Amino acid sequence: MTGLSRRALLAALGLAGVSRARAASPLRVATLDWALLETLLALGVVPVAAAELVLYRRQVIEPAVPESVADLGLRGSPSFEALKLLAPDLILGSNYTAWAEPTLSRIAPVESFSIYAPGGHPYAAAEAATRAIASRLDMAPAGAALIALADAEFAALKARLTGGDGRPALVINLGDDRHFRVFGADSMFGEALTCLGLANAWRGSTRYSATAPMGLETLAQVGDAWIALLPPVPPEARRMMAQSAFWKALPSVRAGRIVELAPVNPFGALPAALRFARLLTDALPFAKAAARG
């Protein structure tokens, strides 16, 4: 954790009992949604099962998933038979898993907590989902603690960026050597920029996530900004970055104002927002050093 150390924040908030130790939930919980999996783990709850954990460990990374969690396979085609054998008491769903609810509801009660919806605000929705899930599991204090911890860490990260160069940030992912996706103000990363006190260089609409792929030529309209490049970067896109005269002529690229970030979940919850904020803050050269403690 950057800014204040996690231990220092927990102590300051009086939350030492809500650290990495796993809380004992009386219910056996399962989920197919990564944002809800993040939330459970951040609350200290180890679910009995979740989906696509190999990819989660590679692309989401934190919170780490214990080996005891059963992997149900692909999120789009999970093993309902395996889930039934695990006999969960409760299954957490979202609008992304609504297609599976008729089958899931025959295994255990399903409760939905959606974070991403048109016209919504993902960060506030993630806070609401955190409170609701914690309350459902009789862990309301842990939910409040997690939200307070996120607020405190964002404040610490924002302080590190105070006095920067005033340029906005453009958060993108390269789909190939001709197209990119951008994360606007209504995405989780866009709202994280706001929490950090950074302006978003993208002014177009993005439909609460990233835009559909757009031609690279659109980047010429953005102007000077810090470009935060999210993985993966396909090989053909990497070659383009090394060889394309257009790419090299972009003001941000020409001036060296581009940073590449480690993997982070673009459809995550509070843990993903915080991971993105940490990665970006650590990558920006004008950020003040993290406080030690």
Q: Which domains does the chain have, with CATH numbers?
A: 6-153 (3.40.50.1980), 165-283 (3.40.50.1980)
Q: Is the pLDDT of residue 17 over 70?
A: no
Whether the CB-CB separation of 41 and 64 falls below 8 Å is answered with yes
pLDDT tens digits, 230-270: 999 999 999 999 999 999 999 999 999 999 999 999 999 99
Q: Of 84-98, 125-139, 204-218, 255-269, which gets the smallest average pLDDT?
A: 204-218
- For 142-162, how does the pLDDT look when each residue is reduced to its tens digit (9 = 90+)? 999 999 999 999 999 999 999
Give the 3-state secondary structure of the chain: CCCCCHHHHHHHHCCHHHCCCCCCCCCCEEECCHHHHHHHHHCCCCCCEECCHHHHHHHCCCCCCCCCCEECCCCCCCCHHHHHHHCCCEEEECHHHHHHHHHHCCCCCEEECCCCCCCCCHHHHHHHHHHHHHHHCCCHHHHHHHHHHHHHHHHHHHHHHCCCCCCCEEEEEECCCCEEEEECCCCHHHHHHHHHCCCECCCCCCCCCECCCEEHHHHHHCCCCEEEEECCCCHHHHHHHHHCHHHHHCHHHHCCCEEECCCCCCCCCHHHHHHHHHHHHHHCCCCCCCCCC
Q: Binning pLDDT at 50, 70 and 90, where does residue 211 land? A: confident
Listed in sequence order, the residues at least 6 apart from 44 whose beta carbon sits closer than 8 Å to its beta carbon are 18, 20, 21, 22, 23, 139, 142
